[in-house]
Structure 1
Amino acid sequence: FRGLYKGVTPNMWGSGSAWGFYFMFYNTIKTWIQDGNTAQPLGPSLHMLAAAEAGVLTLAMTNPIWVVKTRLCLQCDDRVKAGTGTGYAGMMDGLAKIYRTEGIRGLYRGFVPGMFGVSHGALQFMTYEEMKNKYNQRRKRPIDAKLTTAEYLTFAAVSKLIAAAATYPYQVIRARLQDQNHSYKGTWDCVKLTWRYERVSGFYKGLMPYLVHVTPNICLVMLIYEKFTNH
C-alpha cells in the first residue's frame, strides 16, 4: 500500500507551487499584453506566447522538485537495502543527496525536454482561452463574461485532452532521463533508443492512467482559478 503513495510529498509541493507560479506569471504576462484591459481579445498566438513564457519561468522554479518526485516513485527498495542503489528517505533528503552527489546539474535533469513540454501548457491554455472567447462571442457577450461551472469544466477537460494527445511523448522522455536506473547520454539518445526498441507505443506508455489522473485535476484547478478571479 505504501508503494502506491511513493513521491506523494514532492508531488503535492510540486503541483501546488507549479500552479501558483504558473497562474501568477500567466496572469501578469497576459494583463501586461492586454495593457490592463481584460476584455481585449489576444488571439491564439498571444495566448500561446503568454502561456509559454509562464511555463518556462515555472519550470525553472520547480524542476528540482519533479526530479526528486520521479526518483522517489522509481527507486527500488530491494536495491537500496542491498546497497546497489541510492535511497532517498523523502523530498528534502532527496534534494540534499542529489545536490551533494550530482550538483545543480542533477537537480535540473530533464530540463531540456521539460522546455519542450512547455508547449503542453501553452497549447492547453491557448485552447482553453480560445474556446471560452469563441463561446462568449457566439453568445454575443464580452470575452471575460462569467460562465457556468459545467462550461468551465467542459472547456478545461477538452483543452487538457487535446494538449495531452499532442505532447505526451515528452513526459515519457523526461521521466526516463530523470530515472537514475537508466543511463542515457542525453535527450536525443533517449528518443532514439525508445523508438528503436518500443516504436510509437513507447512514447505513449502510461497515457491512460495519466489522463485519468490529470483530467479531473485540471478541471478542479481551472474551476477554482476561474471562481477566484471572477470575484
Structure 2
Amino acid sequence: MNPSPTPGSPAPLTLTGSLQRLFSHVKYENLVAGLSGGVVSTLVLHPLDLVKIRFAVSDGLDLRPKYNGILHCMRSVWHQDGLRGLYQGVTPNIWGAGASWGLYFFFYNAIKAYLKERRQTELSAGEHLMSAASAGAMTLCLTNPIWVTKTRLVLQYNTDPANKQYKGMVDALVKIYRYEGIAGLYRGFVPGLFGTSHGALQFMAYEELKREYNKYRKMQSETKLNPLEYITMAALSKIFAVATTYPYQVIRARLQDQHNKYDGVCDVMRRTWRNEGLLGFYKGMVPNVIRVTPACCITFVVYENVSSFLLNRHK
C-alpha cells in the first residue's frame, strides 16, 4: 500500500512519471535562443579562440610557431593566411558552440523547471549548480566529437603544408573515426566532464547574481533585465568560472592535439608540471578571458532576448 502524500507535498512519482514531467518542461525556444547566442558570439570572436588554443598547447615542439603575445600571434596568422587563417576551424566551432549553448540552455531550463515544480519554491544555489552540471554532462556527450575536430583544425600549422591532414570538418570527423575510432572522437572527454563544473559554476553565479540584484530592486526573481544588466551579470559569472576551472581546458586541448601523444589525463598533468610548472596549466588564459567574457555577454544577451521573444509571442 502506497503511503499517502502529506498535505502540500508533491505526490511521489514513478520513473516514467518523472521523465514525463521532465519532458513536459522541454521548450524548443530555449534551444533556438541558445543556438543563436552561440553562433553569433563564435562568428565575432573565433580568432581569439584560435589564439587561446595555440597558446594552450605551446609545449616547446619545434614544429609549432613561436609567438610573443596575442597580437603577435594574430599578426603572424594574418600575414601567412589572411582572414581565412584567423578563421581556421570556425566551422566546427560554430557547430560546436551553437549546439553546445543550444543544448545546454535546452536541458538546463527543463531540469530547472522540473525541480522548481517539484519544490514549489525558488531553487537554491546548490540546485542551480546541479541543474547546470547535469545539462553540461548531457551536452558534452553529444558534442565532444565536434570539439575534437575544431582543435585539430585550429592546430594545423602552415610551417609544413604537406602535413595538413584535414580539408574541413567532415573530412576531419571521417579521418579521426577511421584511424582512431570512437576513442579518437572522444579524446579530452574526461577533462571535458570536469569542465562541466565550469558551466555549472557560471550558471549558478549568473542565477544568484540575477536573483540578488532583483531582490535588491524589490522585484520578482524572474524579472527581465536590460541588456547592460545582463552583460554585467554574464561577465562577472564568466570571470568567476574561468578563474576557478581554466587548467582543464589546457589538459583537454593537449589531449586532443594531433602533434603530441599522451597516455591520459595524469600523463598530461605530470609532463606539463615537470616541463612548465604551475604556469603551464594557465597558458592561453589571458586570450581566453579576453575572448570568453565578451562571448559570454553576447551569448547571454542574444539568448535572453530571443527566448523572451519566442516564449512571449504566443501570449
Same fold at TM > 0.5: yes
Q: Are 1:112 and 2:190 an aligned pair?
A: yes
* 1:167-213 superposed Cα distances (whole Å, 9 cap, x missing partner): 11100000000001111110011011111111111111111111111
Tell me if 1:221 matches 2:299.
yes
Q: Displacement of 1:217 after TM fit?
A: 1.1
2:233 aligned residue: 155
Match of 1:54 among 112, 126, 135: 135
CA RMSD of aligned residues (A): 1.5
Task: Quote the residue 2:14 is aligned against.
Answer: none
Do structure 1's residue 131 and structure 2's residue 213 form an aligned pair?
Answer: no
Which residue of structure 2 lines up, in the alignment, with residue 176 of structure 1?
254
Tell me the CA shift for residue 229 of structure 1. Answer: 3.2
- Stretches of structure 2 that go unaligned for 5 or more consecutive residues are 1-81
Determine the C-alpha separation between the residues in 1 that align with 2:158 and 2:179: 20
In 2, the alpha carbon distance for the partners of 1:227 and 1:3 equals: 32
Q: Provide the aligned length of Structure 1 versus Structure 2.
A: 227
Counterpart secondary structure, 2:267: helix
Equivalents in 2 of 1:131, 1:211: separation in Å? 20
- Are 1:95 and 2:176 counterparts? no
Of the three residues 42, 57, 79, the one matched with 2:123 is: 42
Residue matched to 2:38: none
Stretch deviating more after TM superposition (71-80 or 3-12): 71-80
Q: Percent identity?
A: 55
Q: Is 1:63 the counterpart of 2:136 in the alignment? A: no
Aligned pair partner of 2:105 in 14, 19, 23: 23
Name the CA distance, whole Å, in 2 between partners of 1:126 and 1:16.
21
Helix, strand or coil at the partner of 1:55: helix
Give the C-alpha shift of residue 77 in structure 1. Answer: 4.1
Q: Secondary structure of 2:180's match?
A: helix
Quick one: which of 103, 115, 126 aligns to 1:33?
Answer: 115
2:275, 2:263 → 1: CA distance? 16
Q: Whole-Å Cα distance in 2 between the matches of residues 68 and 228 of structure 1?
A: 29
Q: State whether residues 188 and 255 of structure 2, in contact with CA within 8 Å, keep that contact through their aligned partners in structure 1.
A: yes
Match of 1:194 in 2: 272
Partner Cα separation in structure 1 for residue 118 and residue 125 of structure 2: 18
Offset of 1:79 from its aligned partner?
3.9
> TM-score normalized by structure 2?
0.69
Residue in 2 that maps onto 1:6: 88
Equivalent position amino acid for 1:31 in 2: A
Instruction: State the Cα deviation string for residues 25-52 of structure 1 (Å, max 9, x = none).
Output: 0011101111189x94211100000000
Any gaps of 5 or more consecutive residues in structure 1?
none
Contact 1:80–1:87 (Cα < 8 Å) also in 2: no
TM-score (norm 1): 0.94
| Structure having greater relative contact order (Cα 8 Å, sep ≥ 6) | 2
